[in-house]
A and B are shown apart, each in its own frame.
Chain A
């Protein structure tokens, strides 16, 4: 089933025939995502009815108005990484922003950049670095869309210093009813980009929560994002050749510390102490699988090294110090870190050691994510059991130990997940340790049983969290019906507001919350 009669022509008339395509040879390119495949156990059914390539905000408004008029659905995407952007209904088009790829402006003095949806983090950061500025880059990778990622996730990198989920300033947001909503200073007399707040209630609050709405709330066509000071070289300092690159930041201003703690509790204490001392720019617990995959040029390399590496790389905290002001800052922060490490019985992994050589690119990863997609290398697929839930560092630890790892172990026993007995997560500190997020990583093959095991375990984390009244993981789509009833029925409010701005439910209809609870 394709688009309603007349809809294709209306879109073609509005955008130009070359900017819409419904040929299966083209739409297949937007149809496949293994997680969706594993859930629905068949593919092909979910090819989009068409793909459109808008050039401007006006084009996007037109598309959305046509969708409302002809009653078909649309999914706006960025760089299109995640499962919810794959259509799950036949009469759905994809709004692909590849022609909206400008960095509209970089205000170097006031530290912001204005981007369109098909600008990636790597592109933006490359330009920002020329002016001594940077941006926190999500662990999804520097190849993802700045706009989409800011609306969706954004964990990782230098969030310890720069914060998380506070990076969006002014926006142009085409609502699902086709109206253009200006966020923050965009609604001002000069239509400025510099700030994200406006008078009265802050509608930026509808843009996302701890994670995003997966295209269920219209499309942001331009976004101003915060940039942050960066005291490093103007070009990302990389050496080597594919597949072995090394980063090489000036050591007096950028210092990576990889610290082993006797147990995970001590590591948690260290994150608290680092936060209270207000030092460091990036602080992450780094699990063995993640670090080794980052250093692995092939799956074979990973598995050759992994059994031994897993024994050695345990409870390792990565702390990157950045001298924003001068080398003096790094020297001071190192002294403070030394004291914390000594108090908590930690030991630095020595520079030059084998472990160091495997983990050393962590500093590059924190500044410009380039290794994270190697996580797919380990077994074909990976995700997190849990993750995207934000509360204290203690809570991250407790979530992980109380209900995430037991679920992982169940999956491991069944042979679905890659063995890992470290109980180490990718656990992150944000805003100097004011809050945190943890991601226990699991790796599995594209096997329907393993996929089901993953999906069920993930959903179970939400069940376990609300049962215990602990922080939940990201309740994706229908999972909101698990968490909602115990969390002030927020899902009902979300749905009501979605319906208010999207009365025909045309914008990725099942997100953020589907209209009906899942059956069974």
Chain B
């Protein structure tokens, strides 16, 4: 792949600016009209998909060079995919692929990843996790649980905890609760413990495509070898990359489900019953990688022919087929919970600000973006902001603390667990 593949997109962008906004028909207020956190923070057009298209075209044409500033423009983006949704409503273009391609180019030119990304990248290379933690401790979160180790035995379902839920002491409870619920529901589930490896989403996001593919291939091989039917994860980041990117790396003999989907199915099948009421108003934050970012990408290879038609025709992902209903169905099923929706939801969700390597390289940008989401959540009248993504929880949680918001930051499974 190279930017050349997207030349048609780059020269055909007519700077209509749809990429900067929620689709006009879905705008409900002046304050919640934007879709692009990068644009909101940095103001210059260069920090939108349109501007980055222009930069990509200029790089392709040799009009500008890949400089430190160009790399900053390229990386100061959460890769949330909001632009991809709104652009595609109008045009047949692939903003998110182009943004990722730009990062690959930055890496190729020696300008990426940024210094702020390197600890995580190096750690993934050395420790198979971005958190500078030893591989051997990866399975400790479940050491007190009686669960199959799929390195040794077989099960139908692999619960893939992901790096953050495995290592972050404040978040391990999410993994434990989810696994506990699955076990209690009688699901034949196991984990990989110390043999679980990073999904490699962080390296993909910073443009290290080869490293990502290497890791992804190993994971696919491993999962295939386990003979599991389903891989379940609570991490939206892992889920997004497993759903959207892994199919491009290798054949997967298993399906991937997010824990919210799995929980919703269990509720529907009557395998999960709530016994306690939780009188609480909550609002749901759609993580980008669970929602619009989780649609499988079409591995289209072809050309644009007369009138811009794709040859062969390609399927496009519009961002609306992600996991949106399942978590809402889970929340609605919990007695006493009142779901208050924010204005920007589902495919138009406002990013938490942590993605795309932003939290490590541009922490201030990450927090400002989160603050906007917190304010949006507060305006619903909700008492708690619920999500199911360790990056979102962490970044939104930090922002809640920073601004002294009365909102509680909750993980979906916390509420489920409390109501059982």
A and B touch in their complex, CB below 8 angstroms: yes
Using CB atoms and an 8 Å cutoff, list the residues of chain A in contact with chain B.
21, 23-34, 37, 43-44, 47, 51, 53, 79-81, 96, 98-99, 103, 119-124, 126-127, 141-144, 235-236, 238, 241-243, 245, 247, 297-300, 303, 364, 368-370, 373-374, 376-381, 418, 443, 445-446
Q: How many chain B residues touch A (Cβ–Cβ < 8 Å)? A: 61
Say how far A457's CB is from chain B's closest CB, in angstroms. Answer: 18
CB pair B45–A96 under 8 Å, yes or no, is yes
* Interface core residue of A24, A99, A143, A374 (most chain B CB under 10 Å): A143
Q: Contacts of A377 on B, CB cut-off 8 Å? A: 90-92, 308
Could you tell me if A242 and B18 are in contact, using CB atoms closer than 8 angstroms?
Answer: no
Give 4 nearest A-B pairs by CB, closest first. Answer: A29-B51, A29-B46, A44-B63, A142-B24
- How long is the Cα–Cα vector from A245 to B90 in the complex, in angstroms? 12
Let me know if A376 and B64 touch, CB within 8 A: no
Residues A364 and B25 in contact, CB atoms below 8 Å apart:
yes
A380 and B12 contact, CB distance less than 8 A: yes
Instruction: Identify 16 new A-B residue pairs, CB closer than 8 A, beyond the known A121-B24, A122-B21, A300-B310.
Output: A24-B58, A26-B69, A28-B57, A34-B11, A80-B17, A98-B44, A119-B30, A141-B24, A243-B89, A243-B318, A298-B316, A369-B24, A373-B14, A376-B90, A377-B91, A379-B308
Known contacts: A29-B44, A96-B44, A300-B310. The answer to whether A376 contacts B27 by CB under 8 A is no
CB proximity to A under 8 Å, residues B271-330: 306-310, 313, 316, 318-320
Encoded as 1 (CB less than 8 Å from any A CB) or 0, chain B from 8 to 19 comes to: 100111111110
Is B332 interfacial (CB-CB < 8 Å)? no
Report B244 CB to chain A, min CB distance, Å.
Answer: 16
Residues 164 to 216 of chain B near chain A (Cβ within 8 Å): none
* Cα–Cα distance between A141 and B86 once the two chains are bound (Å): 13
B91 touches A373 (CB 8 A): yes
- Complex CA–CA separation, A500 to B2 (angstroms): 52
With an 8 A cutoff between CB atoms, is B140 at the interface?
Answer: no
A300 to B51, CA, bound (A): 26
CA of A29 to CA of B74, assembled, Å: 12
Give the nearest-CB partner of B92 in chain A: A299
Closest to B59 in A: A28
Contact A373 B54, CB 8 Å, known A53-B44, A123-B30: no
B-chain residues with CB within 8 Å of residue A121 when the two chains form the complex = 24
Contact B69 A242 (CB under 8 A): no
Task: Please name all residues of chain B whose beta carbon is closer than 8 Å to the beta carbon of A30 when the two chains form the complex.
Answer: 45-46, 51, 54
A99 and B308 alpha carbons, distance in the complex (Å) = 36
Alpha-carbon distance between A373 and B63 when the two chains are bound, in angstroms:
28
15 contacts between A and B (CB under 8 A): A29-B44, A31-B54, A43-B61, A79-B17, A80-B45, A120-B21, A122-B24, A142-B27, A236-B28, A238-B25, A241-B320, A299-B92, A300-B92, A373-B16, A418-B307
Are A241 and B90 closer than 8 Å at their CB atoms? Answer: no
Asked if B46 and A120 make an inter-chain contact with CB atoms under 8 angstroms apart, the answer reads no
Taking a contact as CB atoms closer than 8 A, the residue among A98, A99, A236, A299 that contacts B27 in the complex is A236
Contact call B43/A122, Cβ cutoff below 8 A: no
Please state if B25 and A81 are interface contacts (CB–CB under 8 Å): no
B90-108 contacts to A, CB under 8 A, are 90-92
Q: Give the complex CA separation of A21 and B86 in angstroms.
A: 27
Tell me if B67 and A103 are in contact (CB < 8 A).
no
Q: A373, B18: Cβ atoms under 8 Å? A: yes
Say what secondary structure dominates the interface of chain B.
helix
- Does any Cβ of A come within 8 Å of B155's Cβ? no
B229 at the interface (CB under 8 A from A): no
- Chain A residues with Cβ below 8 Å from B92 are 298-300, 377
Q: Give 1 or 0 for each of B29-42: 1 = CB within 8 Å of chain A CB.
A: 11001000001000
Knowing A298-B316, A418-B307, the reply to whether A143 touches B24 (Cβ < 8 A) is yes
- B128: interface (CB < 8 Å): no
Q: How far is the CA of A141 from the CA of B27 in the complex (A)?
A: 13
Chain B positions within 8 Å of A364 at CB level: 25
**Out of A80, A98, A445, which one reaches B307, CB within 8 Å?**
A445
Given contacts A44-B58, A80-B17, A243-B318, contact A235 B28 (CB under 8 A): yes
B16's partner among A99, A143, A303, A443 (CB-CB below 8 A) is A143
Cβ–Cβ contact B23 & A103, under 8 A: no
CB distance from B378 to the nearest CB of A (A): 19
Q: Which residues of B contact A241 (CB under 8 A)?
A: 318, 320, 346-347
**B residues within 8 Å of A by Cβ?**
8, 11-18, 20-21, 23-30, 33, 39, 43-48, 50-52, 54-55, 57-58, 61, 63-64, 67, 69-70, 72-73, 85-86, 88-92, 306-310, 313, 316, 318-320, 346-347
Does A32 contact B57, Cβ atoms closer than 8 Å?
yes
In the complex, are the beta carbons of B20 and A25 less than 8 A apart?
Answer: no
Closest to A237 in B: B25
With A34-B12, A298-B316 already in contact, the answer to whether A126 and B307 are too (CB < 8 A) is no
The answer to whether B14 and A243 touch across the interface, beta carbons within 8 angstroms, is no
> Please, which residue of chain A has its CB at the minimum distance from the CB of B50?
A29
Q: Is the CB of A242 within 8 A of B88?
A: yes
Q: A28-B55, A53-B44, A446-B12 are in contact. Are A144 and B23 (CB under 8 A)?
A: no
Question: CA of A142 to CA of B57 in the docked complex: distance in angstroms?
Answer: 27
A520 and B189 CA atoms in complex are apart in Å by 78
Distance in angstroms from A301 CB to nearest chain B CB is 10
B16 contacts A376, CB within 8 Å? yes
Give B64's nearest chain A residue, CB to CB. Answer: A24
Q: How far is the CA of A445 from the CA of B13 in the complex (A)?
A: 12
Cβ of A34 and Cβ of B14 under 8 Å apart? yes
A238→B17 contact, CB < 8 A: no
Contact indicator A242/B16 (Cβ below 8 Å): no
Asked if residues A143 and B18 are in contact (CB atoms below 8 Å), the reply is yes
Cβ-defined contact, B12 with A98, below 8 A = no
Nearest-neighbour CB distance to chain B for A80, whole angstroms, equals 6
Which of B15, B25, B310 has the most chain A CB atoms inside 10 A of its CB?
B25
| Chain A residue at minimal CB-CB distance from B52 | A29
Whole-angstrom distance between the Cβ of A336 and the nearest chain B Cβ = 30
CB distance from B91 to the nearest CB of A (A): 6
Asked if A26 and B25 make an inter-chain contact with CB atoms under 8 angstroms apart, the answer reads no
With beta carbons under 8 angstroms apart, the residue of A27, A34, A247, A380 that contacts B25 is A247
Query: Contacts A303-B307, A377-B91, A378-B307 known; A143 to B15 CB distance under 8 Å?
Result: no
Task: Give bound CA distance, A241 to B85, whole Å.
Answer: 10
Q: In the bound complex, do residue A299 and residue B309 qualify as a contact, i.e. CB atoms below 8 Å apart?
A: yes
Distance between B323 CB and nearest chain A CB, rounded to angstroms: 13
Whole-angstrom distance from the CB of A121 to the nearest CB of chain B? Answer: 8
Which residues of B lie under 8 Å from residue A53 when comparing CB positions?
43-44
User: Which of chain A's residues have a CB closer than 8 A to the CB of B28?
Assistant: 126, 235-236
Contact A81 B43 (CB under 8 A): no
Q: Are A300 and B318 in contact (CB under 8 A)?
A: no
A303 in contact with B309 given A34-B11, A141-B18, A377-B92 (CB within 8 Å): yes
Q: List residues of chain A with CB within 8 A of the CB of B90.
A: 373-374, 376-377
Knowing A242-B85, A300-B309, say if A25 contacts B18 (CB, 8 Å): no
B4 to chain A, nearest CB (A): 16
Collect the chain B residues with CB atoms within 8 Å of residue A119's CB. Answer: 30
